Amino acid sequence: MINIKKFVKNAIIEDNGRGDLFFDVAPKGRFTARAICKSDGILAGVQYAKVLARTEKFDCKFLKNDGDEIKAGDVIAELEGKASILLSSERTFLNMLQHASGIATMANKYAKLMEGTGVVLLDTRKTRPQLRDFEKYASRVGGAINHRLGLDDCLMLKDTHLRTIDNLEEFVKKARKRISWVTKIEIECETLDQVKEAMHAGADIIMCDNMTIEQIKEVVVFRNENYPHILLEASGNINLETIRNYASTGVDAISSGSIIHQATWLDFSMKFD
């Protein structure tokens, strides 16, 4: 919650600058308004919008919750407060809902396509700078599970890392002595031979990067026969048209940056009564 408060406060400062010019000439008294959705999708951002309301001291009653399906025309929230406060908060309030709801809606589309497969949907670190917590919160609301929040969550060796390593097995042994005992090591692989080397070296998770469905099926068979404890993640150019087929290969998880960076904002507006 501390991070949310800081995020909200910075968002307010960003929009208000040296102060809203409408503030000193705003009509007196209390006014009521409604936040209305103009797009179909999944609502997110409520947790942040409530903090904004408390910070700026206006009343806000949400009629929908994070994760609810919403339709164009739905009233999302009822607001009451001074005109100066409601209007100075309007854009920040709506931006949070629109941005988060767009991501939640995209994540939900992927999650629905994977229903019944038992495969976990993961987001990635492809987030906008300074917005990672916010965007990953939105993807969770939509049905995804967060992959790494940062470089300190898991030791992932991608192709760029591997180019700096001469002996993978020795490197993993060294890493095990330096990182936390509960921290996993994930290694990105593009071929079955790379998978075999990474599994032998002691990886906890293998990322099958940009592999075809046929290649991944081969990896799954090898894993099941030799290293059944190792988790498999598929990633790379997996979209709404192909994700169900990838989920049927036997992997444990599928990660997609599209959940966040290809999401389109939903449309919301605020109307005064």
Catalytic residue annotation: 126
DSSP state of 230: S
Distance from the first to the final alpha carbon of the chain:
32
Enumerate the H helices of 155-212 as residue ranges: 159-162, 168-178, 192-201
Question: Cα-atom radius of gyration of the chain, to the nearest Å?
Answer: 23
Residues 45/95, Cβ–Cβ less than 8 Å: no
Residue with tokens 């609502």: 43
| CB-count exposure of residue 128 (10 Å: 0-12, 13-18, 19+) | exposed
CA pair distance 101, 94, nearest whole angstrom? 10
